[in-house]
Structure 1
Amino acid sequence: MQTNAELLLHRYASVADGIALLFSDYVEVIIHDLESQSVVHIANNISKRNIGDPAALDDVNFEQTEAVIGPYEKLNWDGKKICSTSVVLRDDQNTPIGMLCINMSTAPIEAAREALELLLPMKNLIPQPEKLFHDDWQEKVNSFIHLWLANMNLTIPTLSRKDKRVLVEALYEEGAFKGKSSADYIANVLGMGRATVFNYLREIKNKI
């Protein structure tokens, strides 16, 4: 008859290995045997634990009725943060016999975030300088189009021919076609031919 540890290894060791292989150097998967309260399998060891080490499940607040616990945060041996999720493993009688813990090192992600924060001058942003943007018709056209799209719950790629006709009319009423080459710009933004935009404008003006 198989022991709980043997059953855990037979059923779940390959699962642990597969998860760890998929996420390369950033994820460790450990299988704990609840009967012996010890580690029975480690895939991609980043925590410097050993087979047979105490399971140390007290930090998981494990309850018998739970199936998935987490994600929760803890510190690795090097002081870096780890994000963990634990899955309760059960036998054929639905009795908890083990825990599969997935530990992901978040240090590379945090380093990338810090690098992006250095590159993006969000803290130093100021309102658009009036002296630069008061005549920027392209900026105004962009703002109007995306506000209109948001209100209509649409995107440029999903616009039908009828939608584009309605949007061109809304832009005309907003005065968007007063700028130099504005018709060409709007045609490019909406993915329309220049001639089509001018046809729409003629129809709109005739209707008025």
Structure 2
Amino acid sequence: SLLGELDRVEEVAPGVYGPYEKLLPDGRRLACVSAVVRDEDGKPSAVLCVNLDRTPLDQAAQVLAAFAAPVTPQPQVLFERDWTERVNQVIGAFVRERQRPVEQLTRADRLTLLAELDRLGVFSQRRAVPLVARALRVSRSTVYALLAEVRRR
């Protein structure tokens, strides 16, 4: 930067300006900070400029913004045969609705949830009980006992 250009930039500390933006001929953006270097008499003799290519930061911001964007629902066709995904969806919706984690579900909550999973045919799948037990953070025997109670009703 030329010393005269710094007159248009806000001084953030004595003799330090920026960060301000500069553009390269290829369109990349730079974040720049300039400091006036003074001689023994205190007169400006040079400007030390530090320039940072913002391209990687801009790319990272785009990736993060994509994650922050509203999430589109999963295509139903894609997951209709994946019963484990369905279990996760049902349990996730249930705990969000109750606004508490699975560890804090009451016995009545667990019975309601297992009844819904049973209605959806989850327990007709091989290895469903261990999957549900892990998801609910209870033992398999607890799931079997609760499921037996649900089916007696």
TM bracket, shorter-chain basis: 0.5 to 0.7
Which of 42, 45, 49 in structure 1 is aligned with 2:13?
Answer: 42
Partner AA of 2:147 in structure 1: L
Cα RMSD for the two superposed structures: 3.9
Which of 91, 111, 115 in structure 1 is aligned with 2:59?
Answer: 111
**Identity percentage over the alignment?**
22
Q: Are residue 147 (structure 1) and residue 93 (structure 2) matched? A: yes
Tell me the matched-pair count: 113
TM-score, length basis structure 2 = 0.54
3-state SS, counterpart of residue 149 of structure 1:
helix
Aligned pairs for 1:25-104 (under 5 A) are: 39=11, 42=13, 45=16, 47=18, 76-79=20-23, 80=29
Contact 2:80 2:86 survives alignment (8 Å): no
Superposed displacement of residue 109, structure 1: 4.5
Cα distance per residue 1:107-161 (max 9 Å; x no partner):
465331235689x8x9xx9x6484x644221111112222222333333344344
Residue in structure 2 matched with residue 15 of structure 1 by the alignment: none
Structure 2: segments with no counterpart, 5+ residues: 1-9, 24-28, 32-51
Superposed displacement of residue 200, structure 1: 0.4
Residue in structure 2 matched with residue 203 of structure 1 by the alignment: 149
3-state SS, counterpart of residue 47 of structure 1:
strand
Superposed displacement of residue 46, structure 1: 6.1
Partner AA of 2:140 in structure 1: R
Q: Are residue 156 (structure 1) and residue 102 (structure 2) matched? A: yes
3-state SS, counterpart of residue 195 of structure 1:
helix
Residue in structure 2 matched with residue 194 of structure 1 by the alignment: 140
Superposed displacement of residue 42, structure 1: 1.8
Cα distance between partner residues in 1 of 2:76 and 2:117: 24
TM-aligned CA distance change 1:129 to 1:143, over 3 Å: closer
